[in-house]
Structure 1
Amino acid sequence: MLHHVTLHLARSKQFPEGSPRYGYEMTAPLDDQGRLDPQEWSNTRAHCRVRRFWGDEGERQGVLVHRPGGSGGATWMIDYNQDRAGDEEAGYHLHQHRFVPGEYVTIGDDDGHPHTFQVVSVTAGTPRRVGEDR
């Protein structure tokens, strides 16, 4: 089932309190334990959208992709332009993490620098554009 997930930047040296100005809003297929579901992704990939908001830099729109290879046999990534390589952001062991409020996930930016995010909300829902009014 598709879920709407919001991630905010977690505490770090640069942001001791974390920051809701940096993060992601995504529509992603989650199983009953809150883990990304590759089988459901293959059926709903057209709806698996991501909005990245990054302080004063504005936002970027992308898609959630599941690619073969990597740890655990596959890699979850955010791709901002599917016609161009090199703009992807890779998740770190996202297949193992639970997307439930209070949990943490790590996503590397397109330069490969990892950032940790806290899951702040998860709601089940029908497909819609990420960032669209509820």
Structure 2
Amino acid sequence: MTLTKIVMHLARNPEAGFAEGSREHGYLLVLPLTADGQIDEDLWHARRSDCSVRAFSPDAPVREGRLARRGHNWFFDYDRGGVDDDEPVFKLEQHRFEVGEYVTIRDHDETPLVYRIDGKEPLD
């Protein structure tokens, strides 16, 4: 059980205008993972303030936030005071964060975009 730095880049999303994906669009995450690469909810509770999200894109300012949970739903929260900027992550608790795996995130327009995990590095 450790905190892990994850790098994800936009995968092929032809219907969203990214037929070949984009390494200029992505996320840098610090997540608590179990030995099998899934979100460690107990460690998240213990180290919630260390779990971060950094979204980057060439056409928007970098957004910094945190991993949050409401009920059974995980999301990226960029402004703790509101919900308009929250990005839900589809079934995050079921994902294995391994290089080559894919994660779907809904953008600010509610468009689901697929990202590929391109890097994984333990921090602790």
Structure 1 residue 57: Cα displacement:
1.2
Confirm or deny that 1:22 pairs with 2:20: no
Q: Which runs of 5+ in 1 are unaligned?
A: 69-73, 127-134
Asked if 2 retains the 8 angstrom alpha-carbon contact of 1:21 and 1:55, the reply is yes
TM-score for both structures, normalised by structure 1: 0.86
| Residue type at the aligned position of 2:8 | L
Q: Equivalent residue for 1:114?
A: 112
Q: Equivalent residue for 1:41?
A: 44
Calculate the aligned-residue CA RMSD, in Å: 1.0
In the TM superposition, 1:1-134 aligns within 5 A as 1-13=2-14, 14-68=17-71, 74-126=72-124
| C-alpha separation in 2, matches of 1:122 and 1:96 | 17
- Secondary structure of 1:95's counterpart equals helix
Structure 1 residue 85: Cα displacement:
2.1
CA offsets per residue over residues 6-44 of structure 1, 9 Å max, x none? 010001112222111001001000111111111110001
Asked if 2 retains the 8 angstrom alpha-carbon contact of 1:79 and 1:88, the reply is yes
| C-alpha separation in 1, matches of 2:113 and 2:7 | 15
| C-alpha separation in 1, matches of 2:28 and 2:108 | 17
Structure 1 residue 111: Cα displacement:
2.5
Q: Which runs of 5+ in 2 are unaligned?
A: none
TM-score for both structures, normalised by structure 2: 0.93
| Residue type at the aligned position of 2:82 | R
Identity %, equivalent residues: 37
| Residue type at the aligned position of 1:34 | G
Say which structure is richer in strand: 2
Q: Equivalent residue for 1:130?
A: none
Per mean C-alpha deviation after superposition, the further-off stretch among 10-19 and 114-123 is: 10-19
